[in-house]
């Protein structure tokens, strides 16, 4: 049940970015798209290397998964929207199933 927060400093079609990121995450983690949540924010104050050239910060939170399997797919999904891969930061946070909930239930308790 990954959650991805994408912050970009350029004008993008947030829905299109969200769809592309959802597909990348679902494919990379081998999860149904129905399990993926994505938030896309535009922050014109975001800078990288002292410039406001196009850049992005991507935060991926979820339960397990192999980061290496999703890294290239996620980078490509964001770079398709005008942001060079060299200006995309990505970080990953992994949680245990007992630390993640949906529909009022911990994931570990879902049957």
Mean pLDDT of 19-48: 95
From CA 98, how far away is CA 100, in angstroms rounded?
A: 6
Average pLDDT value over all residues in the chain: 92
Q: In sequence order, which residues have a C-beta less than 8 Å from that of residue 107 and are 6 or more positions away?
A: 1, 63, 97, 98, 100, 101
Residue 65 has pLDDT above 90, yes or no: no
User: How much is the pLDDT for 105?
Assistant: 85
- Cα within 13 Å of Cα(29), Cβ side: 26
Residue 77 has pLDDT above 80, yes or no: yes
Confidence bin at 98 (pLDDT 50/70/90)? confident
From CA 66, how far away is CA 31, in angstroms rounded?
A: 12
99 Ramachandran zone, left/alpha/beta (phi>0; psi -120 to 50): alpha
Domains of the chain: 3-109 (3.30.429.10)
């Amino acid at each position: 049940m990954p959650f991805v927060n994408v912050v970009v400093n350029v004008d993008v079609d947030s829905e299109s970015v969200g769809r592309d990121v959802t597909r990348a995450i679902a494919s990379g983690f081998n999860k149904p798209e129905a399990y993926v949540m994505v938030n896309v924010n535009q922050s014109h104050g975001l800078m990288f290397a002292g410039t406001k050239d196009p850049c992005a910060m991507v935060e991926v939170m979820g339960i397990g998964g192999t980061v290496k399997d999703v890294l290239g797919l996620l980078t490509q999904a964001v770079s398709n929207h005008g942001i060079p891969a060299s200006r995309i930061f990505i970080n990953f946070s992994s949680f245990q199933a007992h630390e993640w909930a949906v529909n009022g239930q911990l994931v570990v308790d879902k049957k």
